[in-house]
Amino acid sequence: MGEVILTMKGIDKSFPGVHALDHVDLEVRKGEVHALMGENGAGKSTLMKVLTGIYSKDEGTITYEGREIEFTNPREAQDAGIVIVHQELNMMGHLTVAQNIFIGREPMKGGLIDDGKMNEEARKLFGMLNIEIDPTEKMSRLTVGKQQMCEIAKAISHDAKVIVFDEPSAALTEAEIEELFKIIRDLRAKEMGIVYISHRMDEIKVITDRVTVMRDGGYVGTLVTAESTKDDIINMMVGRVIYEDPKTQSTVKPGAPVVLKVEHLNAGKMVQDVSFELHKGEILGFSGLMGAGRTETARALFGADPKESGEIYVNGEKVEIKTPMDAVKCGIGYLSEDRKRFGIVTAKTVAENTTMACLEEYMKGIFIDSRRENEVAQKYVDDLKTKTPGVDQLVVNLSGGNQQKVVIAKWLAKNCDILIFDEPTRGIDVGAKSEIYHLMNELVAEGKSIIMISSEMTEILRMSDRIVVMCEGKKTGEIDIAEATQENIMHAATLRK
C-alpha cells in the first residue's frame, strides 16, 4: 500500500425523511483494494454516489490527491480519474466494443468518426489489461464477464486513479471471477486505488487489503483484512440495536397442517433446487442479500415466470402452476415488491383494483354489478383502514402504504389463503409500516399463511415464525425464530454453496 489518494471524512447526507449517510469516513490508498461492506441499505451506494457527484453532500470533506474536491456530476469525477464500474452494465448492445468504450469522445477525422483509430486504441487498452477481446465485436455478443472487462477498459481509458467496483462478481461465473481478480491485482500493482463493494465474505478475504464496514448509513469501522476474521466483519455489519422487539417464539399452532409444499424448484440461475414448507397460520420469512433469488423463487412459484422443474403441493395435493391464473385458482396471492409495475393499476380506482382478481363474483349476468363492487371495496377500505376519500378514487393518488393495502384487499377479496408478501413495507413510512405488520399478524391469526420476503433484518426477526435464508439462488439455511439471530442469518446469507 502506498500513500493516501482519497479521503472522505464526515460525509453526511439526508433525503426527505431519511438520514442516508451519518458522518461516514473512507480512506483509500494507492495500490490498495479497499472493501466497502454493509447490509442492503447500509449506504454504500449512496456514499459512492456522493463521491462521484451524483448526489451532493450536506457535510464533510473529500480530499483527492491532496486537494479538497467536490464534483457536481459523474463526468467531472471521471475526468479527474475517479470512475465506477457499475453492477448493472451501461452498455449499448448494438454498438461494437470500441464504440462503447469511446462513446461521447470518438476520435474524428475530417468530420467523420475514425473507426480505425478507435479500434486501435481499444486494442491497446485490452493489451494493457492482458485480455483478449475483439474491439469490433458487437457488445451484446459478449458474455457478462467480458462486458465487465470492457467497462474496466473504459475506466482505464479515462486515466483512472481510483476505480470503484460495485458488486462486480454478482453476475459472474467462478472462472470469470478468477479473471477479474487477476485484472484487479494488476491494477493494484499499477498503484491504483480500488474500492470493492461486495457481499461475498470469501471474496473479501481473497482480494482486499482493508475493509470499511457501514451500517444504517453510519460508519462502523475499518479493519485490515489479513488481521480479521469473517465473524469480526459480520458482527460489525449487524451489530445494531433492534428497536422493535423480535419475535421470540413461533406463534404457529403445534401440528398445524402444511398448506404449501415446494419441492426442488428450479428456474434459471436464481432459483436452484429450492424446497420448503409453509404451515397454516405461519409467517415464513425469506431472508437474504440483494440478488439471492427470493423474488425469483416467489415469481416461479406463482407462475409469473416459467419454471424448469419442481413440484408444488397445496393442502397436500399436487398442483400444476404454469401461469398466475393457475396460482390464483389454488388460492395463492402475490404482492409484488414493485407495486407500481406489478401490483396495482394506478390509473384505475380503488374499487376496480380491489375486484381485479375476483371480478366474476361481482357480476350480474354479463354486467359488472357496480353496487356490490363498491360495497366490497368499501368493506376492505374499512377493514384495512385504507385512507382514501372513496372507493372511486384513483389509486395513483394514494400514499404507498395505502396502495399496498389496496393490493392486500385484492387478494383478500379473492379469498386467497396463501399470500406472498414481497418486501411488504418497501417505500412505506414508519406509521403505515406497523399497520401492515399488525394486519399480517391478524391475517395469520385468522388462519391464512404468509410467505414474507424481506431485506430488512429487523422485519424478518419481528414478523417471521421461521426463516428460510437464500444465497445466490440456493437455499442456504432454515432457522426457527427461537434460534434466529442476526448473526446466524447473515452467515447463511453469505454462504456460497
Partner 1 sequence: MMANNVKKGNAFTENPIVRAIGTQKIVVVAVLIILFGFFCIASPAFRQYSTILSIMDYSYYTTLMAIGVTFCLITGGVDLSIGTGIICYGLLGGFLINHKGMPVAVGLLVTLLAALVIGTLNGALVAILELPPFIATLCTMMICRGLGSIATGGLSQNWPPAGSEQGWFRSIFKLDLGTIKLPLGFVWVLLLVILMSVVLNKTKVGRYIIAIGSNKEATRLSGVNVIKYQMSAYIISGFFAGLGAIAYAATFQAIAPGTGAGLELDAIGGAIIGGTSMNGGSGSVAGTLLGVFIMSMLKTGLPFIGLQANWQQIITGLVLIVAVYIDVLKNKKMQ
Told to check if 397 binds partner 1 by CB under 8 A, we report yes
Stretch that binds partner 1, among 17-25, 225-233, 246-254, 325-333 (CB under 8 A): 325-333
Site residues for partner 1, 283-322, by CB under 8 A, read 302, 304
SS3 394: strand
Question: b/e map of 310-349 (b: 16 or more CB within 10 Å)?
Answer: bebbbeeeebebeebeebbebbbbbbbbebeeebbeeeeb
Q: Least distance to partner 1 from the beta carbon of 458, Å?
A: 23
- Asked if residues 111 and 94 have their Cβ atoms less than 8 Å apart, the reply is no
Helix boundaries (H) for 283-332: 294-302, 324-329
74 versus 324: smaller Cβ distance to partner 1: 324
Question: Which runs of E-coded beta strand occur in 233-365?
Answer: 258-267, 271-279, 283-287, 309-314, 317-319, 332-335, 363-364
Told to check if 371 binds partner 1 by CB under 8 A, we report no
Stretch that binds partner 1, among 41-49, 309-317, 358-366, 487-495 (CB under 8 A): 358-366
The closest of 54, 46, 51 to 162, measured between CA atoms, is 51
d(CA 365, CA 260): 35
Told to check if 387 binds partner 1 by CB under 8 A, we report yes
Told to check if 366 binds partner 1 by CB under 8 A, we report yes
Q: Which of 87, 169, 212, 336 binds partner 1 (CB under 8 A)?
A: 336
Q: Which of 224, 325, 445, 482 binds partner 1 (CB under 8 A)?
A: 325
Q: Which of 51, 398, 412, 492 binds partner 1 (CB under 8 A)?
A: 398
**Which position has the grid cell 486537494?**
67
Stretch that binds partner 1, among 8-16, 147-155, 363-371, 453-461 (CB under 8 A): 363-371
360 versus 483: smaller Cβ distance to partner 1: 360
d(CA 318, CA 340): 32
Q: Least distance to partner 1 from the beta carbon of 107, Å?
A: 37
The closest of 298, 241, 288 to 458, measured between CA atoms, is 241
- Asked if residues 442 and 364 have their Cβ atoms less than 8 Å apart, the reply is no
45 versus 393: smaller Cβ distance to partner 1: 393
Compose the 401-420 pattern: x for residues touching partner 1 by CB under 8 A, - for all others: ---------x---x------
Q: Least distance to partner 1 from the beta carbon of 416, Å?
A: 9
Told to check if 368 binds partner 1 by CB under 8 A, we report yes
Q: Which amino acid makes up residue 341?
A: R
Q: What is the DSSP letter of 72?
A: S
142 versus 321: smaller Cβ distance to partner 1: 321
Told to check if 329 binds partner 1 by CB under 8 A, we report yes
Told to check if 399 binds partner 1 by CB under 8 A, we report yes
Residues binding partner 1: what is the number (CB under 8 A)? Answer: 38
Q: Which of 100, 147, 295, 393 binds partner 1 (CB under 8 A)?
A: 393
Told to check if 344 binds partner 1 by CB under 8 A, we report yes
The closest of 433, 424, 164, 134 to 295, measured between CA atoms, is 424
* Rounded alpha-carbon distances, angstroms, from residue 453 to 127, 270, 285, 360: 45, 15, 6, 30
- CA dihedral angle for residue 102, residue 105, residue 110, residue 111, rounded to 10 degrees: 110
Q: Least distance to partner 1 from the beta carbon of 274, Å?
A: 20
The closest of 66, 92, 57, 37 to 233, measured between CA atoms, is 37
Which residues of the shown chain bind partner 1 in the complex (CB under 8 A)? 302, 304, 323-325, 327-329, 334, 336, 341-348, 352, 356-357, 359-360, 363, 366-368, 370, 387-389, 393, 396-399, 410, 414
